[in-house]
Amino acid sequence: MILFLAFLQGYTLFNISHQKLEKMTTSNKNRAIPLILLGLGLLLIVASVFYLLQDATPQTELAVVPVRVDFSAPELTLTNTQGTPTSLADYRGQVVLVNLWATWCPPCKEEMPALESFYNKHKKDGFVIVAINDGDPEADVLQFVKDYNLTFPVWLDPKYIATEQAFKTLNLPSSFVIDRNGTVVLSWVGGINLRSLEKYITPVIEE
């Protein structure tokens, strides 16, 4: 709204300046003042259009900010996409990012490439992502994993144990970072980008 008003102000100033310029020209008066006003009007118009175009571009770099928390990781055992029962306790000594997601969730889809990229960069440092699907049919989950070329562990949760019992959240996506001692130290709700992953999780990996 502010940018729109600035645009209107610039356009109005341009018209006023132009009218004054014509009058000053026909009356052979000093042209300095209307020329200055004309220049200011054009400058305001250009600036307004620039910021309006920037405001209209997709804000793909925006992401939620993780918050600091401090509680023990829940006991949780589910089956992965290979049909093997796996527990969070199996990853003790590593930094674990638990991502709760669903195939129908737009922000879940949007953040997956960033999660995959971050995982590939840091898995050699004792970091793992455990992506727990929230209640989708197994076939849909397997297709999703294939479509997004996911290489980190993906667990199936047909009974919503992770969301409703272990982490007590109904929001998707929701993510939790567990340090090497088994303590949940970061959490957030919503999609996240690669820049924020590097900023907030890399220090936990390097501890």
Asked if residue 50 has pLDDT above 80, the reply is: no
By three-state DSSP, how is residue 176 classified? strand
Higher pLDDT, 93 or 52: 93
The structure tokens listed for 57 are 């571009």
Residue 173 preceded by cis peptide, ω within 30: yes
The stretch 117-141 carries a mean pLDDT of 98
User: H or E element: which one contains 136?
Assistant: none
- Burial (CB count within 10 angstroms: exposed 0-12, middle 13-18, buried 19+), residue 93: exposed
Question: How many whole angstroms separate alpha carbon 98 and alpha carbon 74?
Answer: 11
Q: What is the pLDDT of residue 42?
A: 57
CATH code: domain 67-206 is 3.40.30.10
**CA 158, 159, 161, 164 torsion: positive or negative?**
positive
Residue the block writes with tokens 């922000």: 107
Q: What is the pLDDT of residue 107?
A: 97
The structure tokens listed for 12 are 């109005």
Q: What is the pLDDT of residue 189?
A: 97
Q: What is the pLDDT of residue 58?
A: 39
User: Is residue 64 very low, low, confident or very high in pLDDT (cuts 50, 70, 90)?
Assistant: confident
The stretch 107-130 carries a mean pLDDT of 98
The stretch 177-197 carries a mean pLDDT of 97
Residue 66 preceded by cis peptide, ω within 30: no
Asked if residue 145 has pLDDT above 90, the reply is: yes
Higher pLDDT, 60 or 156: 156
The CB-side HSE value for 11 (13 A sphere, CA atoms) comes to: 8
Under DSSP, the state recorded for 146 is H
Higher pLDDT, 115 or 17: 115
- The dihedrals phi and psi of 85, each to the nearest 5 degrees, come to -65, 130
Give the domain ranges of the chain.
Answer: 2-56, 67-206
Buried b or exposed e, range 140-166, using 16+ CB within 10 angstroms: ebeebbeebebebbbbbbeeebbbeeb
The stretch 45-72 carries a mean pLDDT of 60
Q: What is the pLDDT of residue 36?
A: 61
